[in-house]
Structure 1
Amino acid sequence: MKGNVVTQTLSQSVLLVDDSPDIHLLVPARLGSERLTIHHAYNAVDGLSDAKTHQPDLILLDLDMPDIDGLTLCAQLKADKDLVGIPVIFLTGILDVATKVKAFELGAIDYVTKPFDGVELKARVRSALRTKRYHDMLSTKAQIDALTGLWNRRYLDDHLGAEVSALRRRPGALSLLMVDIDHFKHINDTYGHPVGDSVIQEVAEEIKQMSRKSDIVCRYGGEEFAVILKDTDSADALIIAERLREKIFMRDFSDGRKKLRVTVSIGIASSDQLAPDMVLPGAIIEAADRTLYRAKTEGRNRICFQAHSAQGITSGLSWH
C-alpha cells in the first residue's frame, strides 16, 4: 500500500500518514476537487521514507499511531534539513491542550480534529498549500541572479552537494564547467558597464541555449558562470565545453555601433578524473577553478581539464 497515488500528478502534493484505511479513503474523497497528488503511508517509518522520496508540499499526519506516534515522526521530519520546510497538519482525535501545544512546539502549523468536517479540511489544506507556494516562490527568487535570470552561487552550492551525494548512492559521473568571459575588464573599461552587462546577459543566454534540461546553469559571480553536468564524464564534458566555447566565439556581440569579439575560457572538473576521496563539492569547485586559471594563463579562448594519474591530480589537456 506504500506510495499509492490516487489522484493525477499536478503541481502540489500531499502525503497522508495514518494507520487507518478508512482515513486513506476519506481524505482523497474530501480533497478530490482540489486536484492534488496524494501519496499514502500507513506508519511512521514509511511516512518518513515517503517524505524523503516525494518531497510533498504538505504532510497530513495522524497523531495516534502504533509503534512510532505522530509527535515522534514530526520531530524526525523537522530534524531533517531536507524536510524541515514541509508544513505538517495533524489529524487527531485528541483534544487536550498539552498535546496540541506539544505539536506546535515540534513545528506543526495546524491540526484537524477527527471526525473532521470536509469543508474545514479543505480550508486548512488550501491555506497550508498557499503559504507553502508563496514560501517556495520567495525561496526560488532568492536563488536567482537578477542580471541574467540564471541560478546564483547559493543555488550552485546547494545542488552540487546534492548531486555529489547522489553519486554515492548510484554509479555515474558528474562534471562541472567553470566559464569565464575573457578580457572582461577591458570590455567594461572601453565600452562602459552597460555594454559589459549586456555581454554577460548574452553569454548567459548562449549557455542556457546550449545546455540540456538536466544541466544546472548558474552565474558564479561577476563574469564567471558554472554549469553542473549530470551523468557526464570528462570526455563528454569536453565535447560540451568545446561546443559552447565555439558558439560564443562565433556569436556577434555589439556595443550598439560596431561588433565585438567575445571569447570564453573554460575549466572542467569531472568525478571520473578525481581521486575518489576528492569527489566532494568544495574539491570539485577548486579543481574546476584551477583548470580555468590554467586556461586563462595559457592564452584564453580555450578549455582545460583535470587528469588523474598514479601520482595524483595533474593538469590536463588544453583545447582551443
Structure 2
Amino acid sequence: MTPRTSTGSWGRAWPPRGWLYLHAQDATEGLQATRDHLPDLILLDLDMPGTDGMTLCRQFKEDPDLVPIPVIFLTGTLDVATKVQAFDLGAIDYVTKPFDTIELKARVRAALRTKRYHDLLTTKARIDALTGLWNRGYLNDQLAMEISHLQRSDLALSLAMVDIDLFKPVNDTHGHPFGDRIIQGVAGALNRLSRDTDVVCRYGGEEFAIILRDTSSYGASVIAERMRAEIETLSFRLGRECIAVTVSIGVAGGDRFVETAELTGDALLQAADKALYEAKNQGRNRVVTG
C-alpha cells in the first residue's frame, strides 16, 4: 500500500506481474483496507494527509491481526532519528524518495521472500506432529484474534472442547502406539466433519478444541452432536478385537456471556472446559452446552 507518486517508471512497471496491488489515499482508508485484505506487505509513505505514517504503523502493530505484516517505509528524509523511530515501530526496511523502481522491486521481493520463510517456519511450529492438526499455541493465538474480531463486529463465536472417553484404560491395556492410532483416528474424524471456517486443534493428550466461527452456542451444539454421533461409529482393530471409542464434548458460545468485556479467550476456554467436565459427569458420550 502506498500513496500515488509521480516517479516516472512507476506506472506501467508496477505492480510486477503476479502481484496484486491495493492503493489507499489516507491512513483511515489504508487501515481499513489492510484489515479487509490482510496483504503480504505494506508500502507506507511517512508523509500522508491527516494521520502520518508513523502513527499508522503504530496502529498496524497494535492490531493482533496485522502485526505479522511487514512494513516498508517510503521516506523523503535521510534523517537517522526518523529511520530509527520507524524501525522501533516495527518497519523492516525503508526506501528514500525519489526512489528507483528497480531498487524498490528488489526490496519488496526480499521482504516477501523473508515473510514466506517466516510463515513456513511459523506454520510448522504450530502443527501437532501426531495428528497434523493445529496445536495449543496456535489455538491460543487464534482465539485472541477471533475475540478481537468479535468485539468489532456482530458475528458469533463458539468453542468446543472434545475429550476421548476412558482413554487411559485403553492406553494402559493396549499400549501407547494403539492409543496414538485412536487419537489420530478421532483427529481425522473431527477434521473431516468440521467446516472450512472452523479451526480444529489438538489441545493436549486425548483432548481437542474447535473454534467455530460465526456460530452461536446452539449452532455449535448441533455441530458437536453430529461429530459425537459420527465418532461413536468408529472402531479400531487390534488383532481380532475391535475397540470402539466415544467422546464427550463441552460447548461454550460468546452469546452466553452477559457482558462483552467478560469474553476473553481464557473465559471461553474455561466455560467450554466446565461444560466438558459436566458431560463426563453425566455419563460421557454426550454434548453439554455451558
Calculate the TM-score normalised by the size of structure 2. 0.89
| CA spacing shift, 1:150–1:60, aligned 2, 3 Å | same
Question: How far did 1:127 drift?
Answer: 0.3
| CA spacing shift, 1:294–1:255, aligned 2, 3 Å | same
Counterpart CA distance in 1 for 2:52 and 2:153 is 32
Q: 1:135 aligns with which of 101, 118, 133?
A: 118
Does 2:274 align with 1:297?
Answer: no
Question: How far did 1:81 drift?
Answer: 4.0
Partner of 1:286: 270
Counterpart CA distance in 1 for 2:42 and 2:246 is 49
Give 4+ residue runs of structure 1 displaced > 4 Å after superposition: 25-28
Q: 1:173 aligns with which of 143, 156, 159?
A: 156
5 Å-filtered alignment, 1:135-214, equals 135-214=118-197
| Structure 2, gaps ≥5 residues long | none
1:67-122: per-residue Cα shift (whole Å, max 9, x none)? Answer: 43333433443444443332222223333444444433443222223333232221
Does 2:56 align with 1:73?
Answer: yes
Question: How far did 1:205 drift?
Answer: 0.2
Q: 1:60 aligns with which of 21, 26, 43?
A: 43
Judge conservation of contact 2:237–2:243 (CA < 8 Å) in 1.
yes
Calculate percent identity across the aligned residue pairs: 57
Counterpart CA distance in 1 for 2:185 and 2:30 is 46
| CA spacing shift, 1:256–1:31, aligned 2, 3 Å | farther
Q: 1:35 aligns with which of 14, 18, 29?
A: 18
Judge conservation of contact 2:64–2:145 (CA < 8 Å) in 1.
no
Judge conservation of contact 1:30–1:122 (CA < 8 Å) in 2.
no
Compute the RMSD of aligned alpha carbons.
Answer: 2.4
Question: How far did 1:134 drift?
Answer: 1.1
Partner of 1:236: 219
| CA spacing shift, 1:171–1:259, aligned 2, 3 Å | same
Give the AA of the match of 1:284. L
| CA spacing shift, 1:236–1:63, aligned 2, 3 Å | closer
Judge conservation of contact 1:234–1:270 (CA < 8 Å) in 2.
yes
Between stretches 191-200 and 113-122, larger displacement belongs to 113-122
Equivalent pairs counted in the alignment come to 289
Counterpart CA distance in 2 for 1:264 and 1:78 is 40
Question: How far did 1:146 drift?
Answer: 1.3
| Structure 1, gaps ≥5 residues long | 1-14, 307-320
Counterpart CA distance in 1 for 2:142 and 2:202 is 14
Counterpart CA distance in 1 for 2:157 and 2:51 is 38
Which secondary structure does the structure 2 equivalent of 1:119 belong to? helix
| CA spacing shift, 1:56–1:27, aligned 2, 3 Å | farther
